Structure 1
Amino acid sequence: MGEYGVTRNGFVRKRLDEIKNDVYARLKEGWGYDITINPQSFLNVLVTGFSDEVAKLWEEAENTYYAMYTMSAEGGNLDNAMQFGGITRERDSRTTYMIACTAPDDTIVPYGVLIKSATNPEKMFRCTNTQVIGRENFRRIEIRPYMESGIDVFYITLNRNTWQYARQPEDNAQDIIRAFADMIEEAGMSVNEDLEKGCLIIEDIYKQTSNTLAISNNLLIDSVTSNILFESMEYGPVIIADGLIREMVTLDTGIREIKNDIAPVPGRFEADDIEARQTFVKRCATRSKNMVESITAEIYNSVDNVLSVAGYENDTEDTDKEGRPPKSVEIIVDGGDDGEIANTIYQKKTNGIRAYGNIIMDVADGFGNIHKVGFSRPDYLYVWLRIVITGKAGKAMAPNYIELTQESILEDSKNLQVGDTVYLQTFLANIYSRVVSVSMVDIRAFASASEKYIPSEEEYTPGNVIVSHRQKALFDVARIEVLLDG
Structure 2
Amino acid sequence: MLDDNGFTRPTYDELVSDLTAKWLELFGSDSDTSSHSVAGVFIRLIAYFMNILYQLAEKVYNAQFLSTATGVSLDKIAANYGLYRNPAAQAITELTFTGTPGYLLPANTLFKTAEGIEFQTADDLIFSVDGRGNGTAYAVDVGSVYNVPANTIIYQVEPTSDIISVTNVEPVESGADSETDLELANRIRIANDTRPSSPANGIISAVMAVTGVKTVQVVQNNTLSEDEFGNPPKTIHVYVDGGDEEKIADALFNSVSAGIQTVGSKQQVMTDNAGFSDNVIAFDYAQQTAIYVSINAQTNLDFETDGIQQIKNAVNDYLTKVPMGGIVRFSYLYKYVYDKVPGIDVIEVKIGSSKDSLTMADVQLQQFAIPVTTADSLVVTENA
TM-score after normalising by structure 1: 0.56
> What does residue 101 of structure 2 align with?
none
Deviation at 1:245, TM superposition (A): 7.2
1:422 aligns with 2:328: yes
1:111-126 to structure 2, matched below 5 A, reads 113-117=107-111, 123-126=118-121
> What does residue 269 of structure 2 align with?
362
**Aligned-partner Cα distance in 1 for 2:31–2:168:** 79
Give, as a single letter, the amino acid of the residue that structure 2 aligns with 1:66. Answer: N
Deviation at 1:73, TM superposition (A): 3.5
> What does residue 377 of structure 2 align with?
479
Larger-Rg structure: 1
Structure 2, gaps ≥5 residues long: 33-38, 99-105, 160-164
Q: Secondary structure at the match of 2:268?
A: strand
Q: CA RMSD in A?
A: 4.8
Greater share of strand residues, 1 or 2?
Answer: 1
1:68 aligns with 2:64: yes
The alpha-carbon distance between structure 1 residues 347 and 8, as it changes in their structure 2 partners (threshold 3 A), is farther
The alpha-carbon distance between structure 1 residues 464 and 311, as it changes in their structure 2 partners (threshold 3 A), is same
**Aligned-partner Cα distance in 1 for 2:350–2:166:** 42
**Aligned-partner Cα distance in 2 for 1:428–1:36:** 54
The alpha-carbon distance between structure 1 residues 323 and 70, as it changes in their structure 2 partners (threshold 3 A), is same
TM-score after normalising by structure 2: 0.69
Deviation at 1:60, TM superposition (A): 2.6
Structure 1, gaps ≥5 residues long: 25-33, 103-111, 134-140, 143-196, 198-222, 250-256, 448-454
- Partner residue of 2:242 out of 335, 350, 357: 335
Number of positions where the alignment pairs a residue of Structure 1 with one of Structure 2 = 349
Q: Secondary structure at the match of 2:252?
A: helix
**Aligned-partner Cα distance in 1 for 2:360–2:55:** 50
**Aligned-partner Cα distance in 2 for 1:243–1:56:** 50
1:157-176 to structure 2, matched below 5 A, reads none
1:148-227 to structure 2, matched below 5 A, reads none
The alpha-carbon distance between structure 1 residues 57 and 335, as it changes in their structure 2 partners (threshold 3 A), is closer
Deviation at 1:292, TM superposition (A): 2.7
**Aligned-partner Cα distance in 2 for 1:396–1:377:** 42
> What does residue 460 of structure 1 align with?
358
> What does residue 181 of structure 2 align with?
276
Deviation at 1:333, TM superposition (A): 1.8
Deviation at 1:374, TM superposition (A): 1.9
Residues 70, 277 of structure 1: 8 Å contact kept: no
> What does residue 91 of structure 1 align with?
87
Q: Deviations over 1:160-214 (max 9, x none)?
A: xxxxxxxxxxxxxxxxxxxxxxxxxxxxxxxxxxxxx9xxxxxxxxxxxxxxxxx
- Partner residue of 2:232 out of 325, 329, 337: 325
The alpha-carbon distance between structure 1 residues 427 and 260, as it changes in their structure 2 partners (threshold 3 A), is closer
Deviation at 1:295, TM superposition (A): 1.8
> What does residue 406 of structure 1 align with?
312
**Aligned-partner Cα distance in 2 for 1:477–1:247:** 18
> What does residue 103 of structure 2 align with?
none
Q: Secondary structure at the match of 1:376?
A: strand
1:445 aligns with 2:352: yes
Deviation at 1:445, TM superposition (A): 1.9
**Aligned-partner Cα distance in 2 for 1:123–1:404:** 18
Residues 125, 231 of structure 1: 8 Å contact kept: yes
Give, as a single letter, the amino acid of the residue that structure 2 aligns with 1:414. Answer: T
> What does residue 75 of structure 2 align with?
79
The alpha-carbon distance between structure 1 residues 283 and 349, as it changes in their structure 2 partners (threshold 3 A), is farther
Deviation at 1:64, TM superposition (A): 0.9
> What does residue 210 of structure 1 align with?
none
Residues 265, 336 of structure 1: 8 Å contact kept: yes
- More moved, 47-56 vs 71-80: 47-56
Give, as a single letter, the amino acid of the residue that structure 2 aligns with 1:424. Answer: F
- Give the structure, 1 or 2, with the largest relative contact order (CA under 8 Å, sep 6 or more): 1
